[in-house]
Amino acid sequence: MRHYRAFTHLSAARTAVMEHIELGYNRRRTHTSNGGVGPLARLERYRVAQVPVLAA
């Protein structure tokens, strides 16, 4: 699905494109450098691994 939006200034269009790339696309796409996992999933795995296990 494509979304069309009219911009009054070129700077507004550039900002919208960069927001889409940084906030949407880059967070979803998979990366070969980390086994084909998306950045948010990899970050979550990292955070879980950093939580110390408390002994009972």
Give per-residue pLDDT as tens, 15-49: 988 888 877 776 677 767 777 887 778 888 888 88
pLDDT at 36: 80
CB 27 within 8 A of CB 40: yes
**What's residue 55's pLDDT?**
60
Query: Domain for residue 46, yes or no?
Result: yes
Owner of token pair 């796409």: 29
User: Is 2 contained in some domain?
Assistant: no
Which stretches within 1-56 are classed as H helix? 10-19, 26-28, 39-50
| Separation between Cα atoms, residue 24 and residue 40, nearest integer Å | 11
* pLDDT reported for residue 4: 80
CB atoms < 10 A from the CB of 50, how many? Answer: 7
**pLDDT at site 56:** 56
Into how many domains does the chain fold?
1
**Does residue 36 form part of some domain?**
yes
